[in-house]
Amino acid sequence: MKKIAILLLAMVIFVGVSGCMKRYSRASYIKASSQVACLAIDNPSLFATQEGGIATIKNAFKENGFPADDNEKMVEIVTKFKSDVEATNEIIEIVKSCEEESTKTM
């Protein structure tokens, strides 16, 4: 009985800890990053002030499930993804298409 209780406790702790260690998806990071860049292209006035720029960036990341108000966690997340060359290349391609769309509407 004692072994079962210890096993159950260990499982509860593991599930609780793994729930706190949420993984942030590469696709969400690409989406949020490219969204910010495309907003800057389409509506530069959103970034006219530092406060406006920060709010726009935080909103984009919050919409994509990131803890944008936790600076330490966001630094950790960005550090993780910035070394992902494929993710960076995907963001660049999306931003290029935003630039092309923006020049078409001008």
Whether 18 has a pLDDT exceeding 70, the answer reads: no
Q: Is residue 14 part of a domain?
A: no
CA distance 12 to 17: 9
Whether 2 has a pLDDT exceeding 80, the answer reads: no
Reported as type and span, the H/E element at residue 101 is helix 85-105
Q: Is residue 46 part of a domain?
A: yes
CA distance 13 to 84: 32
Q: Is residue 89 part of a domain?
A: yes
Q: Is residue 4 part of a domain?
A: no
**Domain ranges, residue 82:** 23-105
- Report how many domains make up the chain: 1
Which amino acid appears at position 55 of this protein? A
Q: By the 8 A CB rule, do 77 and 24 touch?
A: yes
What's the whole-model pTM score?
0.73
Average pLDDT over residues 15-37: 74
Q: Is residue 16 part of a domain?
A: no
Q: Is residue 10 part of a domain?
A: no
Collapsing DSSP to helix, strand or coil, 78 comes out as helix
Q: Is residue 37 part of a domain?
A: yes
